[in-house]
Chains A and B, each alone.
Chain A
């Protein structure tokens, strides 16, 4: 398996623009997680899904952020409109379900810069 795939790897945009980050989890994994990492705040969980259904979105900072998982192999995190304070590395991770499937696999991340 290729692991968790994220695109784009780097994104530079201007304030006010819409940004869409994409994630393909590992095949067969039931859980998908979106994290954000900054120097100031560390690694924060934004939202996670189980079988394509959002379970906990309490980490989503505000209404400008939205996440969807239309099927088991694809998820998006959208920021509209983007602001400079959204600049961060965004990680997607996936995990299986059940006994012995506790390992969470992270993607390489998307580095977002909002000017």
Chain B
């Protein structure tokens, strides 16, 4: 399985942007990059995913390096509710189709200060 490397923890201030990095130097050409987050005492929730181009949705932006060996999840204005563990995951495609599984690492614990 292609692996990812994330900092164990990061800290941010409320209403400031947050850039969460992820390294995936062994990514293959067909691996998608997924981000999930887990709020305290809850199950993980989907944040965003991408392949090559940068992606935006209502929750965050995903910036993918040109060589695809790293990516950055961007929260444009952090709120206290964004305090969570953020997981960067490479999609492990069994057959290149929908039969894939997500292997979660330890993620980055984001603390947001008021």
- Footprint of B on A, CB under 8 Å? 4, 30-31, 33, 35, 42-45, 48, 50, 55-56, 91, 93, 97-98, 101-109
The secondary-structure label for the interface of chain A is strand
A43 touches B94 (CB 8 A): no
Chain A residues with CB under 8 Å of B42's CB are 106, 108-109
Q: B49 at interface (Cβ–Cβ under 8 A)?
A: yes
- Footprint of A on B, CB under 8 Å? 32, 34, 36, 38, 42-46, 49, 87, 94, 98-99, 101-106
The secondary-structure label for the interface of chain B is loop
Q: With the chains together, A108 CA to B41 CA distance in Å?
A: 8
Closest chain-A Cβ to B3's Cβ sits at a distance in Å of 13
Contact for B98 among A31, A43, A105, A106, CB less than 8 A: A31
Chain B residues with CB under 8 Å of A55's CB are 94, 99
User: Residue of A at shortest CB range from B34?
Assistant: A102
